[in-house]
Structure 1
Amino acid sequence: MPVSAADLALAHALADAAGAAIRPYFRAEHGLEIKADASPVTLADTAAEAAMRRLLAAEAPRDGIIGEEEGASEGASGRHWVLDPIDGTRAFIAGRPIFGTLIALVDGGFPVLGIIDQPILKERWVGVAGRTTEFNGRPAATRRCRALADALLATTSPALFADDELHAFEHLDAAVRSTVLGGDCYNYACLASGHLDIVVESGLKLHDFAALVPVVEGAGGVMCDWAGDPLHAGSRGDVIAAGDAARIEDILEALACRGH
């Protein structure tokens, strides 16, 4: 089912609701706790997801919801809204405005709509399958990259890779011009706007990557897993984003040394 004008309006409303819940906690008392998986969660995370769920219950009661903080609830439509209220909670608690709210609509297992919203800087990237990505209402575009040696690579942290994945990443790191660390979802937004060339990560969950796919691909880039396959609801969570599709084979070749 194509993304409708009502779907897009609802996605914007979800981002607005999340931002309104997050902003009062930024650089203020945020009630930090550590979850069972050792990841941080704050009052802003829980308040933002709760606000989005209330809106979805009112506006799209037949759709399922998959959220980072409250888990999954099945609907009757076959579609799911995938929510990550704060992707980059560590940046949020450090007072760094490079986190984002991620909102995706997944239909048939594939992301068809995605929003990356930075509520402090008031930056919003919106991607819809088959359409041009927009950044604050204007077209966004990735940049061309003539060779891997010219590329600017980003990842959140090498510490998040397993040993064999780290070995592969280091091989790619040695092949590019420079590497930027930190950034979470903001890296993909910067790639969609032509400021980065490659983002590589692993261990991501659906709520971490679903919204990124329509944003990056609608800006002219490509996203896939480390085997080169398209990302979907059942993907393992090893992720490549490239601003220039011509560099994908080079990236896959560099990462192919994994475990060697």
Structure 2
Amino acid sequence: MNLDDDIALAHALADAAGAVIRPYFRARFVQEAKADASPVTQADREAEEAIRALIEEHRAGDGIIGEEYGAARADAERVWVLDPIDGTRAFIGGRPIFGTLIALMIEGHPVLGVIDQPISSERWIGAAGRPTRFNGKPAGTRACPELSRALFATTAPWFCGGFEALRSAAGDTLLGGDCYNYALLASGHGDLVVEEGLKLHDWAALLPVVEGAGGRMTDWHGQSLHKGSDGRVVAVGDPALLPQVLELLER
């Protein structure tokens, strides 16, 4: 399959999700609590339905793993991994710092990722062997080789083991943001994101975006992320930061 064709489809998938999500933003919608007590809205579900319908139409042999509707053909060589609204709490609260995440994995490794913010019309797309693009233009991380100067972001302290050590060592700290933190890192507006407890749909789309922009994204042992990774991730804009961060996480 031609990667250009997959990129074009990924754009169409993000467009379809955004068209569903935008009318619900800061409007009335049905909201429920899932079994793990995390929130889900009709926007989450309808957006994933729209994405899955297009995949079934255009890539019927590919697998799908989605946050809301589970897996179909998950053992396929090519699998699309979906999180229709990453940051549902932000969406519910009317904060435009959530995102739609769309990834294509081949043999268990992400080769294509989209982070789409449908309210502000911001889209990052990364693909293996290609530079990350933000709204069609090249995106790049910034130089920051010293942790003491780094802007460290995480969604919440309870999603980040070693939070206090990292907060103390970093130049400054931001809380909140979900996938938006990784997108901004890829555009040079942050230096470090550390989180744990992520599921495949939470991180698969992020890796191609971060690494295509010049950053690195690994597990807490510095190993490459793959389908079987444990959900503890580190993303750095400047690869020189990675050893410093891993040393703190190993304590």
Q: Give the TM bin, normalised by the shorter chain.
A: over 0.9
For the pair 1:112 / 2:108, whether they are aligned, the reply is no
- 1:18 counterpart letter in structure 2: A
Match of 2:206 in 1: 212
Q: Aligned with 1:236: secondary structure?
A: coil
- 1:170 counterpart letter in structure 2: E
8 Å CA contact 2:65, 2:74 repeated in 1? no
Find the aligned partners of 2:194 and 2:239 in 1 and give their Cα distance.
Answer: 14
**Bigger CA drift: 226-235 or 168-177?**
168-177
Match of 2:177 in 1: 183
8 Å CA contact 1:224, 1:230 repeated in 2? yes
Q: TM-score, normalised by structure 1?
A: 0.95
For the pair 1:253 / 2:244, whether they are aligned, the reply is no
Find the aligned partners of 1:234 and 1:92 in 2 and give their Cα distance.
Answer: 29
Q: Following TM superposition, by how much is the alpha carbon of 1:4 offset from its aligned partner in structure 2, in angstroms?
A: 1.6
Find the aligned partners of 1:36 and 1:206 in 2 and give their Cα distance.
Answer: 18
- 2:153 counterpart letter in structure 1: A
Find the aligned partners of 1:206 and 1:171 in 2 and give their Cα distance.
Answer: 26
Q: Aligned with 1:235: secondary structure?
A: coil
Q: Following TM superposition, by how much is the alpha carbon of 1:255 offset from its aligned partner in structure 2, in angstroms?
A: 1.2
For the pair 1:237 / 2:231, whether they are aligned, the reply is yes
Find the aligned partners of 2:56 and 2:74 in 1 and give their Cα distance.
Answer: 10
Find the aligned partners of 1:153 and 1:31 in 2 and give their Cα distance.
Answer: 34
Q: For each residue in 1:158-213, what CA deviation from the matched residue of structure 2 results, as whole angstroms up to 9, or x when unmatched? A: 1234xxx2xx2211111011100000000000000000000000000000000000
Q: Following TM superposition, by how much is the alpha carbon of 1:76 offset from its aligned partner in structure 2, in angstroms?
A: 7.5
Percentage of pairs with the same residue: 64
Q: For each residue in 1:50-109, what CA deviation from the matched residue of structure 2 results, as whole angstroms up to 9, or x when unmatched? A: 000110110000000000000011168511000000000000000000000000000011
Find the aligned partners of 2:172 and 2:21 in 1 and give their Cα distance.
Answer: 33
- 1:214 counterpart letter in structure 2: P
Match of 2:95 in 1: 96
Match of 1:61 in 2: 60
Q: TM-score, normalised by structure 2?
A: 0.98
Q: Following TM superposition, by how much is the alpha carbon of 1:256 offset from its aligned partner in structure 2, in angstroms?
A: 1.3
Q: Where do residues 118-137 of structure 1 align in structure 2 (5 Å cutoff)?
A: 118-137=117-136
Q: Aligned with 1:20: secondary structure?
A: helix
Match of 1:14 in 2: 13
Find the aligned partners of 1:77 and 1:179 in 2 and give their Cα distance.
Answer: 40
Q: Aligned with 1:127: secondary structure?
A: strand
8 Å CA contact 1:63, 1:76 repeated in 2? no
Runs of 5+ consecutive residues of structure 1 not aligned to the other structure: none
Find the aligned partners of 2:77 and 2:144 in 1 and give their Cα distance.
Answer: 38
- 1:144 counterpart letter in structure 2: A
Find the aligned partners of 1:145 and 1:230 in 2 and give their Cα distance.
Answer: 22
Runs of 5+ consecutive residues of structure 2 not aligned to the other structure: none
Find the aligned partners of 2:92 and 2:34 in 1 and give their Cα distance.
Answer: 15
Cα distance 1:146–1:69, how it changes in 2: closer, same or farther (>3 A)? same
Match of 1:158 in 2: 157
**Bigger CA drift: 66-75 or 241-250?**
66-75
Q: For each residue in 1:11-57, what CA deviation from the matched residue of structure 2 results, as whole angstroms up to 9, or x when unmatched? A: 00000000001011000012111100110000100000000011011
In structure 2, which of residues 174, 186, 190 is the aligned counterpart of residue 192 of structure 1?
186
Find the aligned partners of 2:143 and 2:158 in 1 and give their Cα distance.
Answer: 29
> How many residues end up aligned between the 2 structures?
251
Find the aligned partners of 2:61 and 2:75 in 1 and give their Cα distance.
Answer: 5
- 1:43 counterpart letter in structure 2: Q
8 Å CA contact 1:127, 1:216 repeated in 2? yes
- 2:247 counterpart letter in structure 1: E
Q: Aligned with 2:148: secondary structure?
A: helix
